[in-house]
């Protein structure tokens, strides 16, 4: 069993807080990925969990026991580093068995355990070799084997794949995932690579400048980023983030920016608010040139129903460049003074210099408070948050309700 709780953990190096009051509850069997840009404090946090660095404040609990100042050997955790530091003069067998020999386990037990681990990691044929006779991926597996052989309650891994080339990284990612499924043990894994995080994690914890921005499943953090930082960090190309303003105009509450007109609801009032509007490149819906002008209201609309606002483009701009990615294309467009990237199957049918118009499904629109960067939700009074997936293919404009709503900080909902 290994549940790891981190409570208000802080580490200061001089004036600078490398980790600033971070709290995490890592359940037994979690594959938790600590993700963030270089220098954000990932290694510092992992090393405090391992007992290699003393915190300046806060606590670390292991299965409920306070181990904040306990030495590493009392923590039942094994660490795998980026530089896997195998003993060059020892065979694979002796490298893997090293932690057991240093604990003076009986020879037969060591032999047995090393065999098991070697089988699991597909190293059985290589036990007699020395590290220089192995490929990068094989060496990495030996390093994992050395951690595994002790049967620790938890594995702590610090960018273990970053010395491998792209193809090997993909393969090793798959092996680590399979290993996690087989062992069911707790893994805390540090990386700056969003693909590793998205593909391996059961939960992702995003760090920015020593602070925790969001913790959630890969789907949660991608679909509902809690902040502009998370929104911009995940995704390739990254989410379009456009400075905008929520305003009441002509009886509609809208998100407005040059070239951007996104209605939220069609009646009532809303104090003006500076926001950042976010839309992922793959969620923009290209409108045919004909519908760039507002469509007319259907005459047969029953009067008792909320009156839908006529569908019209949310974004209008001019195509600047189109990039061929093979299966897909990315078009860069100028919308007002902002850049908007759109991604879709090739060919998009766009040419540089031509006007372009996009819609966006209502549940794919992200709004953030401009000053704090925190996520906002908007709630039409007719019920149902747009972020609920019931309007899946409605355009943002068509999903607008006729009654007034409100814009709230996501954290208060
Ligand atoms: N021993 C140290 N002394 C002073 N500053 C440090 C030390 N270790 C790390 N730092 C600083 O703390 C911050 C976080 O570092 P680190 O945890 O290594 O980041 P990451 O692993 O996310 O790249 C960085 O600004 C780094 O320079
Ligand atoms: Mg690091």
Token pair in block for residue 136: 């990068």
Pocket test for ligand 1, best of 10, 16, 18 (most atoms within 8 A of CB): 18
Torsion angle of C-alpha atoms 319, 324, 328, 331, degrees rounded to 10: -10
Map residue 303 onto helix, strand or coil.
Answer: coil
Q: For ligand 1, is residue 46 a contact (CB within 6 Å)?
A: no
Q: Which of 410, 407, 370, 375 is nearest to 264 (CA)?
A: 407
* pLDDT more than 70, % of the chain: 87
Pocket test for ligand 1, best of 11, 35, 44, 49 (most atoms within 8 A of CB): 44
Among all bound ligands, the one having the nearest atom to the CA of 39 is 1
The whole-number pLDDT of residue 288 equals: 84
Task: Centre a 10 Å sphere on the Cβ of residue 213 and count the other Cβ atoms it contains.
Answer: 23
The CA-based angle 320-325-330, given to 5 degrees, is 30
Residue 69 CA to ligand 1 centre (angstroms): 20
**Taking the complete model, does pTM exceed 0.75, yes or no?**
yes
Domains in the chain (CATH in brackets) are 4-225 (3.40.50.300), 240-410 (no CATH)
The alpha helices in 64-193, defined as continuous H runs, are 92-102, 107-120, 136-148, 166-183
The whole-number pLDDT of residue 3 equals: 96
Q: Looking at ligand 1, which atom is closest to the CA of residue 190?
A: 21
Q: For ligand 1, is residue 13 a contact (CB within 6 Å)?
A: yes
Residue 91 CA to ligand 2 centre (angstroms): 29
Token pair in block for residue 265: 């609801």
Q: For ligand 1, is residue 37 a contact (CB within 6 Å)?
A: no
Residues paired with residue 412 on neighbouring β-strands, in sequence order: none
Task: Centre a 10 Å sphere on the Cβ of residue 355 and count the other Cβ atoms it contains.
Answer: 11
Residue 173 CA to ligand 1 centre (angstroms): 26
Question: What stretch of H or E contains 378?
Answer: strand 375-380
Q: For ligand 1, is residue 38 a contact (CB within 6 Å)?
A: yes
Q: Are the beta carbons of 239 and 233 closer than 8 angstroms?
A: no
Residue 196 CA to ligand 1 centre (angstroms): 21
Q: For ligand 1, is residue 39 a contact (CB within 6 Å)?
A: yes
Q: Are the beta carbons of 266 and 393 closer than 8 angstroms?
A: no
Residue 140 CA to ligand 2 centre (angstroms): 17
Q: Are the beta carbons of 190 and 31 closer than 8 angstroms?
A: no
Report how far residue 227's alpha carbon sits from residue 213's, in angstroms, rounded to the nearest whole number.
7
Q: Which of 48, 43, 50, 72 is nearest to 58 (CA)?
A: 48
Of 58-67, 123-132, 208-217, 282-291, which range is least confident? Answer: 282-291
Q: Are the beta carbons of 301 and 307 closer than 8 angstroms?
A: yes
Q: Are the beta carbons of 144 and 180 closer than 8 angstroms?
A: no
Residue 218 CA to ligand 1 centre (angstroms): 26
Which residue's CA is the closest to the ligand 1 atom numbered 27?
A: 39
Residues paired with residue 357 on neighbouring β-strands, in sequence order: 316
Pocket test for ligand 1, best of 9, 11, 13, 47 (most atoms within 8 A of CB): 13
To the nearest 10 degrees (0 to 180), the angle between helices 136-148 and 166-183 is 20
Pocket test for ligand 1, best of 41, 50, 191 (most atoms within 8 A of CB): 41
Q: Are the beta carbons of 285 and 358 closer than 8 angstroms?
A: yes
Q: Provide φ and ψ at 204, rounded to 5°.
A: -115, 135
The DSSP secondary structure of 33-88, one letter per residue, reads EEE--TTSSHHHHHHHHHTSS--SEEEEEETTEE-TT--GGGS-EEEE-SS----T
Question: Over 70: is that where the pLDDT of 404 sits?
Answer: no
**Helix %, strand %, coil % for the chain, to 5?**
25, 35, 40
Residue 45 CA to ligand 2 centre (angstroms): 9
Residue 109 CA to ligand 2 centre (angstroms): 35
CA 181 to chain centre: 21
Q: Please, which pLDDT band fits residue 291 given cuts at 50, 70 and 90?
A: very low
The DSSP secondary structure of 2-20, one letter per residue, reads --EEEEEEEEEETTEEEEE
pLDDT tens per residue across span 27-72: 999 999 999 999 999 999 999 999 999 999 999 999 999 999 999 9
The whole-number pLDDT of residue 380 equals: 60
Residue 389 CA to ligand 2 centre (angstroms): 37
Which residue's CA is the closest to the ligand 1 atom numbered 7?
A: 13
The whole-number pLDDT of residue 15 equals: 92
Q: Please, which pLDDT band fits residue 253 given cuts at 50, 70 and 90?
A: confident
Which residue's CA is the closest to the ligand 1 atom numbered 6?
A: 13
The whole-number pLDDT of residue 312 equals: 77
Residue with the bigger pLDDT between 115 and 411: it is 115
The DSSP secondary structure of 320-369, one letter per residue, reads EEEEE-SSEEEEEEEETTEEEEEEEESP----TTSEEEEE-BGGG-EEEE
Question: Over 70: is that where the pLDDT of 388 sits?
Answer: no
DSSP annotation of 374 reads B
What mean pLDDT is reported for the chain? 87
To the nearest 10 degrees (0 to 180), the angle between helices 136-148 and 92-102 is 20
Q: Are the beta carbons of 275 and 264 closer than 8 angstroms?
A: no
The whole-number pLDDT of residue 403 equals: 52
User: For the residues 370-394, what does the mean pLDDT come to?
Assistant: 61
Q: Please, which pLDDT band fits residue 412 given cuts at 50, 70 and 90?
A: low
């Amino acid at each position: 069993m290994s549940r790891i709780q981190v409570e208000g953990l802080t580490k200061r190096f001089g004036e600078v807080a490398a980790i600033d009051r971070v709290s995490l509850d890592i359940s037994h069997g979690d594959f938790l990925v600590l993700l963030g840009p270089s220098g954000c404090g990932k290694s510092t946090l992992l090393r405090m969990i391992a007992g290699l660095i003393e915190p300046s404040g806060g606590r670390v609990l292991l299965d409920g026991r306070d181990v904040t100042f306990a030495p590493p050997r009392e923590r039942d955790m094994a660490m795998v580093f980026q530089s896997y530091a195998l003993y060059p003069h020892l065979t694979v067998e002796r490298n893997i068995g090293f932690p057991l020999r240093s604990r003076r386990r009986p020879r037969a037990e060591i032999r047995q355990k090393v065999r098991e681990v070697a089988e699991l990691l597909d190293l059985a044929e290589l036990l007699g070799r020395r590290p220089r006779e192995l490929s990068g991926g094989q060496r990495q597996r030996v390093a994992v084997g050395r951690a595994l052989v002790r049967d620790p309650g938890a594995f702590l891994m610090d960018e273990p794949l970053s010395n491998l080339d792209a193809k090997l990284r993909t393969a090793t990612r798959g092996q680590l995932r399979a290993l996690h499924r087989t062992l069911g043990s707790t893994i805390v894994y540090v990386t700056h690579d969003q693909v590793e995080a998205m593909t391996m994690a059961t939960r992702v914890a995003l760090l920015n400048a020593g602070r925790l921005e969001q913790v959630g499943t890969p789907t949660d953090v991608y679909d509902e980023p809690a902040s502009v930082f998370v929104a911009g960090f995940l995704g390739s190309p990254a989410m379009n983030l456009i400075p905008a303003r929520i305003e009441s105009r002509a009886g509609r509450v809208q998100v407005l920016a040059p070239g951007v007109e996104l209605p939220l609801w069609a009646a009532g009032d809303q104090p003006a608010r500076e926001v950042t509007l976010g839309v992922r490149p793959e969620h923009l819906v290209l409108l045919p040139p004909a519908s760039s002008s507002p469509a007319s209201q259907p005459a047969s609309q029953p009067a008792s129903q909320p009156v839908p606002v006529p569908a019209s483009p949310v974004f209008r701009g001019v195509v600047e460049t189109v990039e061929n990615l093979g299966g897909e294309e990315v078009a860069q467009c100028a919308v007002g003074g902002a850049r908007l990237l759109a991604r879709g199957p090739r060919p998009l049918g766009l040419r540089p210099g031509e006007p372009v118009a996009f819609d966006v499904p209502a549940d794919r629109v992200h709004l953030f408070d401009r000053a704090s960067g925190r996520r906002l939700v908007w709630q039409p009074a007719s019920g149902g948050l747009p972020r609920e997936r019931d309007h899946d293919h409605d355009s943002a404009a068509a999903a607008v309700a006729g009654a007034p709503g409100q814009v709230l900080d996501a954290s208060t909902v």
